[in-house]
Amino acid sequence: ILNVEQSPQSLHVQEGDSTNFTCSFPSSNFYALHWYRWETAKSPEALFVMTLNGDEKKKGRISATLNTKEGYSYLYIKGSQPEDSATYLCAPALSNFGNEKLTFGTGTRLTIIP
């Protein structure tokens, strides 16, 4: 089983502060890197899919970067809001099945303190 690590495991952030967390993965056989947000009692929802080294994606206050050569991605949240509280999962596609088969990290659980 491929090793995908996310850090930190959990994080408490004051409302209004910015934060970031990391996903590291094996850099060989890389096809794509997915980020998902999973709120309690809901289904995981996609945030970004990135494929190219140096890729940066942005969605509102959330952005992500990708370094495929060294095998890591950062997720940034600017000006955290209570609705950002969720578990953030990264999942690289690292197999002969190309973009389809994902290996999920254990996630970073983010709690925003009002």
By the criterion CB under 8 A, which residues form the site for other proteins?
A: 1, 31-32, 34, 36, 42-46, 49, 89, 91, 93, 97-107
The span from the CA of 114 to the CA of 6, in Å, is: 25
Pair of tokens at residue 17: 């502060």
Pick between residue 26 and residue 79 the one whose CB is nearest to other proteins.
Answer: 26
- DSSP category for residue 82: G
Pick between residue 71 and residue 88 the one whose CB is nearest to other proteins.
Answer: 88
3-state helix, strand, coil in the chain (%, to 5): 5, 55, 40
Pick between residue 90 and residue 112 the one whose CB is nearest to other proteins.
Answer: 90
Q: How far is the CB of 8 from other proteins (least distance, A)?
A: 14
